Amino acid sequence: MSALTQHLHTIFDTAAAGVLKGVRRKKPWGSPPPETELDEGDPLARFKTQLTSYLPPKEVEAITRAYDYSAQAHVGQLRISGEPYISHPLAVADTLARWRLDPNAVMAALLHDVMEDTTCTKEDIAERFGKTTAELVDGVSKLDRLEGQTYEEAQAENFRKMLLAMARDVRVILIKLADRRHNMQTLGAMSKEKQRRIARETLDIYAPIANRLGLNALYRELQELSFEHAYPVRHRVLTKAVKQARGNRREVVGKILDAVRKVLPESGIEAEVMGREKHVYGIYRKMREKHLSFSQVLDIYGFRIVVKDRPTCYLALGTLHSLYQPVPGKFKDYIAIPKANGYQSLHTTLIGPYGTPVEMQIRTSAMHHVAESGVASHWLYKDEKSLSELQRTTHQWLQSLVELQSASDDNTEFLELVKFDLFPGEVYVFTPRGKIMSLPRGSTAVDFAYAVHTDVGNRCVACQINFESVPLRTELRNGDRIEIVTAATAHPNPAWLGYVRTGKARAQIRHFLKTQQNEESAALGERMLARALSEIGQAAATVDKSAWDRFLHDTGARSRRDIYSDIGLGLRLGPVVARRLLARDDALQQELKTEKLSELPGERRNETRRAAGSVVIRGTEGVAVQLAHCCRPIPGDPIVGLIRKGQGLAVHTHDCRTIAKLRGARAEWVDVEWEAYPGRQFEANIHVVTRNARGVLAKLAAAISQTDSNISNVGMEDDGGHTTSVYFTVQVTDRVHLAKIMRSLRRIPEVMRIHRVTEPRHKSV
């Protein structure tokens, strides 16, 4: 447990002792009730009244038929709380009606559980209520959980289905968010364990999606409900603290409200001024992220000013800055540069009476609609011209989900990548042509390259930020001008995964590396199979096509390439595959019917290995053949190969300490040998002990350079006396080249000892 977590636990648990049970959660001061809050009375009558306020009678009648169908399908079913089940789809549909969504979406909300909980099928819904409604219901419905599938795997698969359906039609996620909202409102009937799990899931997935779509009112409500159920003690403590602070600061807030409402008309500005209270979860998150106590969170209250048009926003800003002094660095112009979810507003922090910091948000009424309703504004306020830009940015984000899906073939990985993109862009940078791009905070130049285009990301080799060359891992800052340098032969580096921030960059890098590994593994496997066939007197080119067809049919593999890749990755043994392809007699066929590596006994594996001969190593195979970092083999060293399941072939020196520990492991040992002329440079480590003398490092570097070698890395350690240890990583062609370098270094008078290092200097290396 971190020090911060312990500190928070102490604050909340200590304070909880003095909290009265049953503290009632009150609405924020000065704010209207949530737009989608259900009123008292008959829910069905209220729902129909809402529908008739914006839909013609014919469409209301169709929705009524959908309600009757859903009520009949769920008849006799109860929620855990004991209410009739139909109350849930009715509440979901009521939320969509308050967003003024179209009839198909409202009908889908009423029917969204019938495919999961009843015998009704997608075809039944399409026949009765149309294909569009059926597609929406199918997009929201969960998949059947497969036998042996964990809860996390099933959830990841369902999220993938839902998010891809959302990319086709955003109404899918609006239905799901309304569904999750009502489930969170009624979560108290669940067990404590389920409450925490569902609340955590809502905070991680659904609330960020609501934020990304600009549904800020829903976003805040989901956060508050999740916080209340995930951390009930902390929620009660903070709620009580906010209630007490509300009384203590009422005078300050009232004075600010009066001053603002007086000064704006004096400047000829007509405005609606509203006070608002920071939400409890927002306070908690600020305390956690900035290591603050509650008393140190001063900006609990803020003010929202709604004016008629954009120029008046800036006029109001100047008026407020003349009333109270602004805090330097606390001004943000989201009107000129909107957030990724379409949010627009001016934010400024002022020093109010008694030194109290106060946040002001200034926006137009149209911006206010978008800020509260996001994509739902498309249905609520269709006459607003500003919505076209919001629709465009939302469409781009939805299409990015399709790109992530195509680059990831694993449901859990896809969900992880989506989470990366669910946080709002906070860094605004410029392309060389002056175009503004929004990226998540912490993004690097590599993230920017992939945001421009996948090919730019795959081929980037360097970058310039503000006309200065910087490393690709450099984090971007607001206002940076970025230019990416590409090369036709470049490709993604696995190290990039350690610092990229966006889901797109992470997905495309992983996709490239997987593809590259499959290609290289297939090439290695083909060579290993050819060697195995030659050892038993058969050329690979002469294997009959019918033998391959029979083998593929028996193993269920899709192609020869898959077989080659499995051999290269150690999932199949080359000699076993070779013998099964030839199938010389039934007895041998029966004996070798199981070709998987993990299913062969150790003695049989070793016999099979010896029959296959040696695999020639060039050192240029890439990720399929890896030269072990623990011993750094170079041409001329006696070597041995180790195939471990799913990891390909690792090449070690025969006396490496690492392989000595693995002698008894369930792994495949392969005889390997160096190609006569590998045609590449290899890295070797040497340790030189010298006398302390001026210019000795320059002499060492010059001697290495004279032997046609480059220095990749150098490190020095003072031995505490008259000597210094110098560690070089040099590039050599083979063992003879390394010996030449070491002879050249021995001729230097200051050199006392020199030897090759074949083990890491530190265990963590």
What's the distance, CA 375 to chain centroid? 23
pLDDT tens-place string over residues 482-528: 999 998 888 888 788 888 888 788 888 887 877 776 777 777 778 77
Lowest mean pLDDT: which of 47-56, 182-191, 634-643, 691-700?
634-643
CA proximity to 754, closest of 737, 732, 739: 739
In the chain, where does the domain assigned CATH 3.30.460.10 lie?
240-384
pLDDT value at residue 668: 64
Report pLDDT for 570: 65
Q: Answer whether residue 764 shows pLDDT above 50.
A: no
**Domain over 240-384 is classified CATH 3.30.460.10:** yes
Kindly state the tokens that stand for 440: 């998540």
Q: How confident is the model at residue 758 (pLDDT cuts 50, 70, 90)?
A: confident
258, with CB counted inside 10 A (0-12, 13-18, 19+), is exposed
Partners of residue 468 on adjacent β-strands: 465
4 touches 291 (CB < 8 A): yes
Residue 589 has pLDDT above 60, yes or no: no
Higher-confidence residue of 689 and 343: namely 689
Mutual angle of helices 250-266 and 232-248, in 10-degree steps: 60
Indicate the pLDDT class of residue 409, thresholds 50, 70 and 90: low
- Between CA 344 and CA 339 the distance in angstroms is 7
Amino acid 760: pLDDT:
59
Listed in order, the ranges of the chain carrying CATH 3.30.70.260 are 682-757
With bands split at pLDDT 50, 70 and 90, how would you rate the model's confidence at 32?
very low
Query: What confidence tier does 743 reach under pLDDT thresholds 50, 70, 90?
Result: very high
Which percentage of the chain shows pLDDT scores above 70?
74
Whether 148 shows a pLDDT value over 50: the answer reads no
Average pLDDT, the chain: 77
Q: What is the pLDDT of residue 20?
A: 28
Average pLDDT for residues 706-711, to the nearest whole number? Answer: 89
- Confirm if 198 and 176 have CB atoms less than 8 A apart: no
Q: Tens digit of pLDDT for each residue in 578-588?
A: 877 876 444 44
Instruction: Tell me if the domain spanning 31-229 has CATH number 3.30.300.170.
Output: no
Sheet with 723-732: strands ordered across = 711-718, 723-732, 682-691, 751-757
| CA-to-CA dists, residue 120 to 161, 428, 511, 665, angstroms | 20, 49, 39, 54
pLDDT of residue 745: 93
Instruction: Please give the pLDDT value at position 6.
Output: 44
Q: What is the DSSP string of 94-145?
A: HHHHHTT--HHHHHHHHTTTHHHHSS--HHHHHHHH-HHHHHHHHHHSPPPP
Would you state the pLDDT for residue 146? 45
Query: What was the pLDDT predicted at 10?
Result: 41
- By C-alpha distance, which of 202, 259, 269 is closest to 229? 202
- Active site amino acids: 116-117
Is the pLDDT at 36 greater than 50? The verdict is: no
**Level-2 CATH architecture, domain 424-501:** Roll (3.10)
pLDDT at 317 exceeding the cut of 90: yes
Please say if the pLDDT value at position 23 is more than 50.
no
Q: Which of 485, 446, 482, 452 is nearest to 465 (CA)?
A: 482
For CATH 3.10.20.30, the residue range(s) in the chain are 424-501
- 150-171 residue pLDDT tens: 666 666 666 666 666 666 778 8
- The count of C-alpha atoms lying within 13 angstroms of the C-alpha of 58, restricted to the half-sphere facing its C-beta, is 0
pLDDT for 402 beyond 50: yes
Token pair for 387: 């919505």
pLDDT band at 423 (very low <50, low <70, confident <90, very high): low
Q: How would residue 642 be classed by pLDDT, with cut points 50, 70 and 90?
A: confident
For residues 594 and 346, the model is more confident at 346
Going by pLDDT thresholds of 50, 70 and 90, the confidence category of residue 34 is very low
Query: Which pLDDT value is given to residue 437?
Result: 81
* CATH architecture type of domain 682-757: 2-Layer Sandwich (3.30)
Please report which confidence band the pLDDT of residue 624 belongs to, taking 50, 70 and 90 as the band edges. low
Decide which of 11 and 624 is more confident.
Answer: 624
> In the chain, which segments carry CATH 1.10.3210.10?
31-229
Q: pLDDT tens across 208-233, in order?
A: 888 878 788 888 899 999 999 989 89
- Exposure of 80 in the CB half-sphere (CA atoms within 13 A): 9
